[in-house]
Structure 1
């Protein structure tokens, strides 16, 4: 149909698709966008991972740089020569140190308290006092950070309190967004007479059923699962060409629970 509409345009598109340069450019884009997408997916978690963002970002930048300046992509790039900087440990990173000082100045406006926090950070950074014990040093590699700070940070109470606050924070609001998405599937145009308490209970049940389903060994083997609405299950839905209106009826994948909700809707 397109050829009949405009033969010249169709020929131009065909010529472009046959040329190798186009596919070189596509490979180039995929190569450096992959690490960016990978980092975004890692930050899209329902668990505290704010403390990992700086490391993830550093790794992502390194991967993107390596992908961009691969020899096979040299013809795509305008610049051929690039200087790749070696990464340095966090305590030797001037940018990271400056930003940490700025952060402490905002959190602790009192200079005496701030100096105390910086002193405590020095003990931690240099593995001094309680941080120098063999047990504390070994468990750095085995404990979750928040567990480690709760176990060994009592000698630096100000720094421990700050660490526990930061280590409890997720990277994004995606967990809230998923909760709102689940709520919108349960309370919508077809089911709009639920009381707030009833809708809240249904969201709670749906979320916990999803968590229980993830404990099933066969959960990750089933690519057609509908539990990850607004989450990791988008790919299978796109492949099956399921639109959002059809998807709304699948938001609760327990037939018995669906029946309860529909009965509740009919009664109300």
Structure 2
């Protein structure tokens, strides 16, 4: 069954005919729903918006994804460009969308995102050190984290060691593990020759990009410690939040969680998105372990 059949049934039932006589806008709505070009436009909008939603969902996850945002944005733009290339006015549509995307990127972009792209070994083959925007972000980060002129000089020298694959970075195992290990694990195993850069890479690549985990916990706390239950002591409220959160985690391991009347009882919409995001985005999410 096609996804828009329920809408088609809506404007062909007897109840609709009765309501249409009393509402002038009903004819416009009916004409749109019954028009094939309307649904073609809707399908195009869904295709174009899906990479954006996938990107938003990726940065909203509870896992360390700082090292994939820079590349993820490029892939998102290319995916949208590829989709619109098949349309008659695709180039003009892409230019309009790209203006909004670039404005969004300028709003969320920080030097740390460029630095994590530079220090993520998974993108080493893309030569991020030759990208002007990336190196500008690296210099801004360097000026922020360098506590002295000597430390900044040492970080610059150690970055050259990493870019040139000198020392332990040039070991065959290190090159092979660039794509196998998480970014943090890779730096822990092969960054001993550059201790300052190793510490910086592990620190920033372990960062999450969203406060969603805290917000969900606050939401749970607000559900328990509501106006009707404002006499709860803090200790009791904390214990109830702890119990509810762990019940959610425990329930996900049961078969009834993915089937039956109570399937996905806690975060159905989140899990629905997670089931599709991997298909649209090629970047790896969650490859770094939080410190």
**TM bracket (short chain):** 0.7 to 0.9
Q: Is 2:130 the partner of 1:116?
A: no
User: What secondary structure does 1:31 align onto?
Assistant: helix
Give how far 1:217 is off. Answer: 5.8
Give how far 1:114 is off. Answer: 1.3
The answer on whether the counterparts of 2:251 and 2:257 sit within 8 Å (CA) in structure 1 is: yes
Which residue of structure 2 lines up, in the alignment, with residue 21 of structure 1? Answer: 37
The 3 A distance-change label for structure 1 pair 81 and 43 is closer
Which residue of structure 1 lines up, in the alignment, with residue 23 of structure 2? Answer: 6
Q: Is 2:74 the partner of 1:74?
A: no
Which residue of structure 1 lines up, in the alignment, with residue 264 of structure 2? Answer: 225
Aligned pairs for 1:186-225 (under 5 A) are 186-216=224-254, 219-221=257-259, 224-225=263-264
Q: Deviations over 1:34-76 (max 9, x none)?
A: 0011111222222222112112212111111212222xx3257
The answer on whether the counterparts of 1:178 and 1:230 sit within 8 Å (CA) in structure 2 is: no
Q: Is 2:57 the partner of 1:41?
A: yes
Q: How far apart are the structure 2 equivalents of 1:148 and 1:19?
A: 55
Q: How far apart are the structure 2 equivalents of 1:229 and 1:12?
A: 34
Gaps of 5+ in 1: 83-87, 235-268
TM-score, normalised on structure 2?
Answer: 0.68
Which residue of structure 2 lines up, in the alignment, with residue 238 of structure 1? Answer: none
Larger RCO, structures 1/2 (Cα 8 Å, 6+ apart): 2
Give how far 1:78 is off. Answer: 4.4
> Which of 140, 144, 158 is the aligned partner of 1:102?
140
Give how far 1:32 is off. Answer: 0.9
The 3 A distance-change label for structure 1 pair 12 and 160 is same
Which residue of structure 2 lines up, in the alignment, with residue 55 of structure 1? Answer: 71
Structure number with bigger Rg? 1
The 3 A distance-change label for structure 1 pair 196 and 149 is same
- Report how many aligned residue pairs link the two structures: 227
**Which 4+ stretches in 1 moved above 6 angstroms?**
79-82
Q: Deviations over 1:124-179 (max 9, x none)?
A: 12211111112222222221111121222121111111111112211111111111
Which residue of structure 2 lines up, in the alignment, with residue 159 of structure 1? Answer: 197
Which residue of structure 1 lines up, in the alignment, with residue 222 of structure 2? Answer: 184
Q: CA RMSD in A?
A: 2.9
Gaps of 5+ in 2: 1-17, 97-125, 274-291
Give how far 1:233 is off. Answer: 7.1
The 3 A distance-change label for structure 1 pair 157 and 221 is farther
TM-score, normalised on structure 1?
Answer: 0.74
Q: Deviations over 1:7-37 (max 9, x none)?
A: 4x33333223333332232122111100011
Q: How far apart are the structure 2 equivalents of 1:147 and 1:227?
A: 32
Q: How far apart are the structure 2 equivalents of 1:80 and 1:46?
A: 31
User: What secondary structure does 1:5 align onto?
Assistant: coil
